[in-house]
Amino acid sequence: MDTFFISDLHFSDTGILNYEHRPFKDTNSMNREIISRWNRVVKSSDTVYVLGDVGSPAAPMSKFLSEMNGRKMLVMGNHDRHLKPNEWVTIGFDFASPLPIIIDGFYILSHEPVYLNKSMPYANIHGHLHSCRIEGAAYLNVSAELLEYTPISFDGLKLKVAPDSVDSRVTSAESFRDNLGERLKHSDLERIRLASELSDLQNKLKEIK
């Protein structure tokens, strides 16, 4: 069972063909090719996170989703608000969230990029920007245009989109966790020390009285 990611499929969206210069003659050929490339890499036992902008309201999404392999998890984008999360589930997704989610305690999955700074031990897997990228180790863009309209595996994402950055941020996250554990341990020791000093002080006050 493998995990895959992709965003901004834009099924049946005529505008996206020109907006992003997609290499398809029309939406029908685009729709069929996206489904074909999906099924070429995704097996029925796999899970695919679709990070928003699934398709035009005019697209026969129930039909399309029924033809696509794997468990399909949706993090909704700005073009998905015409349906509620439960309605997306009704037509074929196994899960749908209107908000970003976190997997493996480290990867924030969102449609639009979320704010991160260097001290935050997370990476953001996102879409929305289509063929543009954000510089920096924290951001991994899985818009369809950057993936040749084919879902990318978790391992492939780490290698192809950001070869060294994910491992370094995982190391940073582990270091952050370990340092926090040490600080909490020292904090407990400090509380014990202060409690002991307070007890000694109280005993001395009793002797004075």
Residue 129 and residue 202 in one domain: no
Domain count, the chain: 2
pLDDT, tens digit, 9 for 90 and up, residues 15-36: 999 989 999 999 999 999 999 9
Average pLDDT for the chain: 86
Band (168; pLDDT cuts 50, 70, 90): low
Residue-wise pLDDT for 55-98, tens only, equals 999 899 999 999 999 999 999 999 999 999 999 999 999 999 99
- Record the pTM: 0.77
Is the domain of 36 the same as that of 129? yes
Q: For residues 151 and 176, state if they share a domain.
A: no
Q: Is the same domain home to 100 and 23?
A: yes
Residue range 109-136: mean pLDDT, rounded = 90
For the record, the structure tokens of 139 come out as 């951001």
Do residues 98 and 148 share a domain? Answer: yes
Q: Are residues 91 and 186 in the same domain?
A: no
Residues 12 and 107 in one domain: yes
Query: What span, in angstroms and rounded, lies between the C-alpha atoms of 178 and 155?
Result: 25
Q: Tell me, yes or no, whether 148 and 183 share the same domain.
A: no
Same domain as 181, residue 126 = no
Rounded-to-integer distance, Cα 22 and Cα 184, Å: 53
State both tokens at 89: 């589930």
Same-domain status, 126 and 193: no
Same domain, 152 and 197: no
The share of the chain scoring above pLDDT 70, in percent, equals: 76
| From 26-40, 49-63, 95-109, 190-204, the region with the lowest mean pLDDT | 190-204
Q: Are residues 126 and 63 in the same domain?
A: yes
CATH number, residue 99: 3.60.21.10
Structural domain including 69 reads 3-162
Tell me which residue of 96, 126, 85 sits closest to 109, measured CA to CA: 126
